[in-house]
Amino acid sequence: MKQEHIDALRHQTIPDQGLLIDGQWAAAASGQALPVVSPIDGQQLCTIAAAGAVDVDRAVQAARRSFEQGVWSRMAPAERKKILHRIADRIEAHHAELAVLGVRDNGTEIAMAWKAEPGSAAGTFRYYAECVDKINGEIAPTPEGTLGLIHKEAVGVVGAIVPWNFPLMIGAWKIAPALAAGNSVVLKPSEDASLSLLRLAQLCLDAGLPAGVLNVVTGSGAEAGEALARHMDVDILTFTGSGPVGRMLLKASAESNLKRVYLELGGKSPNVVFEDAPDLAQAAKVSAMGIFRNSGQVCVAGSRLLVQRSVHDEFVDRLQNIASSLRVGDPLDVTMDIGAVSSARQLTRNQSMLARALEQGARLRTGGQVIAPVPGGQFMSPAVLDGVQPEMEIARQEVFGPVLAVMPFDDEAHAVRLANGTEYGLAAGVWTGSLSRAHRMVRAIKAGLVHVNTYGGPDITVPLGGVRQSGNGHDKSMHALDKYLDLKTAWIQL
């Protein structure tokens, strides 16, 4: 990753974008489009087509047709495997282009986007390419004279709704296993970050993915997302985003065809630091990036820091110094630590929640200001709050911004009560030198992912999913395939 390569791409003209339906790019039936405005400088990059119900229906029909015709679902597994590997090849060949395109769209710092977006997406397609010819059925232990066969079959049409914070990475988490299982997909990116996924769709076509197997409809959640959620011919809906939208999708499923809905929702993830942590300096450094990277716009961000009282002051001082030293600015500058907030709307929400926390008695140790390192852009300095009480909104509700809420605890039991003191259960962190305590905390904390003496970094080999109001189902790992496969029993009298 060299600055000159980034600079060569950052000012490239981006053409207005259409919808991908049945292998062809087209405008929305209404002719309407939405502006794409960069959070870096407030400049319009291009437009994306604003799909409506008619466009979504065409995309679903194309997906259904491709599935029933078997152009992908009945293709030999070895051939599907080759195509998925070719998609990964093309992502890698266009690594810089995809990374810069995504940063211009959503403001993630380039160092993180470089690895987490095209780097992760290519690895995800390779991982599931290797799964294609390893999806096997079972023979049941049946009585004499009968044969019980358990078949695993692709479900059909998958609707995938992807957020704006890591569109390429999360998009790959959904598209690749759905394709590996033999399904056809209709993808709805966020209207706030569609560009890298539209480019990915073209790379999939270039790699030989048959027409209609992957369709992309851009536009608003209220129109395109709602139409996809309510469509009677979508078999599965997979979504990453907010809890309120997740509830709307469940309602849409109940009021349509009872499609299965898999949700990865919000989090207010606790990061628990005990006095016996192996290295407090390292814990502070990693914990800071566990909340402040990508301006806090990370589903699993460690947004609640719980520190044992005996080391609380020392640790918060360390973390305050780190936070105040982080460089916030142009996300396409490789020297920056933190990039832009994704939109003016999100920046306003961040500031509103920070203001309410201060009104309720929290103390601002550092940061929290709206800053302007690039004129016209959306930027906020990392904020550290202490004096936070468990009943405060900032301790219970997700900000999705660079705001850290710090609370002290007395002992292990107190730490567990605080850690589990929200409606969420997505991720957590534990810092301790005691192996026994680490295992106890992993079991006691209600979360789908618990880090021990680290924060962030789990790769494609392990699942990601939440409990409680952080959702259901899993992305990543072999377990993600379960969402996209049906079990069919054959009971045969011999």
Q: Would you state the pLDDT for residue 35? A: 98
Inter-residue contact 70 to 191 (CB < 8 Å): no
pLDDT value at residue 151: 98
Q: Are residues 282 and 191 in the same domain?
A: no
Residues in CB range of 93: below 8 A, 6 or more apart: none
Task: Check whether 493 has a pLDDT greater than 80.
Answer: yes
Q: Rounded to an integer, what distance in angstroms lies between the CA atom of residue 372 and that of residue 482?
A: 46
Q: How confident is the model at residue 2 (pLDDT cuts 50, 70, 90)?
A: confident
The Cα 90–Cα 204 span in angstroms is 8
Pairing relationship of beta strands 403-409 and 304-308 according to DSSP bridges: parallel
User: Residue 278: is its pLDDT beyond 80?
Assistant: yes
* Same domain, residue pair 288 and 420: yes
Q: Is residue 72 part of a domain?
A: yes
Same domain for 181 and 54:
yes
**Do the beta carbons of residue 162 and residue 149 sit within 8 Å?**
no
Active-site residue identified among 191, 264, 391, 398: 264
Whether residue 75 is contained in a domain is answered as yes
Q: Per the structure block, which two tokens stand in for 79?
A: 């051939």
Output Rg (C-alpha) for the chain, integer angstroms.
Answer: 23
Query: For residue 392, is it within any domain?
Result: yes
Do 21 and 131 share a domain, yes or no?
yes
pLDDT digits (tens, 9 = 90+) for 355-367: 999 999 999 999 9
What is the C-alpha to C-alpha distance for residues 189 and 168, in angstroms, rounded to an integer? 10
Mean pLDDT calculated for residue range 132-143: 96
Residue 454: partners with Cβ closer than 8 Å, 6 or more residues away: 286, 429
Q: 255 catalytic, yes or no?
A: no
pLDDT for the residue 305: 98
> 434 CB contacts (<8 Å, ≥6 apart)?
274, 276
Same domain, 27 and 85: yes
Q: Are residues 250 and 301 in the same domain?
A: no
CA pair distance 223, 125, nearest whole angstrom: 30
Q: Is residue 449 in some structural domain?
A: yes
**Residue 466 falls within a domain, yes or no?**
no
Same domain, 150 and 217: yes
- CATH code of 80's domain: 3.40.605.10
Q: Is residue 465 part of a domain?
A: no
The dihedral built from the CA positions of residue 488, 262, 90 and 218, taken in this order, carries a sign that is: positive
pLDDT digit string, tens, across residues 198-240 = 999 999 999 999 999 999 999 999 999 999 999 999 999 999 9
| Side chain identity, residue 372 | A
Do both 103 and 141 map to the same domain?
yes
Confidence of residue 168 (pLDDT cuts 50, 70, 90): very high
Ramachandran angles phi, psi of 85, nearest 5°: -65, -40
pTM: 0.97
Total domains in the fold of the chain: 2
| Amino acid letter, 240 | T
Q: What's the mean per-residue pLDDT of the chain?
A: 97
Can you give the pLDDT at residue 1? Answer: 77
State the pLDDT confidence band at 254, using cuts at 50, 70 and 90. Answer: very high
Are 443 and 295 found together in one domain? yes
Asked whether residue 285 falls in the same domain as residue 238, the answer is no
How far apart, in whole angstroms, are the C-alpha atoms of residue 122 and residue 95? 9
pLDDT of residue 426: 98
Domain that holds residue 431: 270-459
* Residue 254 shares a structural domain with residue 288: no
- Cβ atoms < 10 Å from Cβ of 56: 28
Positive or negative, the CA dihedral 104, 319, 289, 346 is negative
Residue 464 included in any domain:
no
Residue whose token pair is 């998958």: 158
The 3 state secondary structure assigned to the chain is CCHHHHHHHHCCCCCCECEEECCEEECCCCCCEEEEECCCCCCEEEEEECCCHHHHHHHHHHHHHHHHHCCCCCCCHHHHHHHHHHHHHHHHHCHHHHHHHHHHHHCCCHHHHHHHHHHHHHHHHHHHHCCHHHCCCEEECCCCCEEEEEEEEECCEEEEECCCCCHHHHHHHHHHHHHHCCCEEEEECECCECHHHHHHHHHHHHCCCCCCCEEECCCCHHHHHHHHHHCCCCCEEEEECCHHHHHHHHHHHHCCCCCEEEEECCCCCEEEECCCCCCHHHHHHHHHHHHHHHHHCCCCCCCEEEEEHHHHHHHHHHHHHHHHHCCECCCCCCCCCECCCCCHHHHHHHHHHHHHHHHCCCEEEECCCEECCCCCCCEECCEEEECCCCCCHHHHCCCCCCEEEEEEECCHHHHHHHHCCCCCCCEEEEECCCHHHHHHHHHHCCCCEEEECCCCCCCCCCCECCCHHHECCCECCHHHHHHHEEEEEEEEEC
**b/e per residue, 59-81, with b = 16+ CB within 10 A?**
bbbbbbebbeeebbbebeeeebb
Residue 299 has pLDDT above 80, yes or no: yes
Of all residues in the chain, the percent with pLDDT exceeding 70 is: 100
CB 455 within 8 A of CB 429: yes
15 is a domain residue: yes
Pair (169, 290) in one structural domain:
no
pLDDT number for residue 211? 98
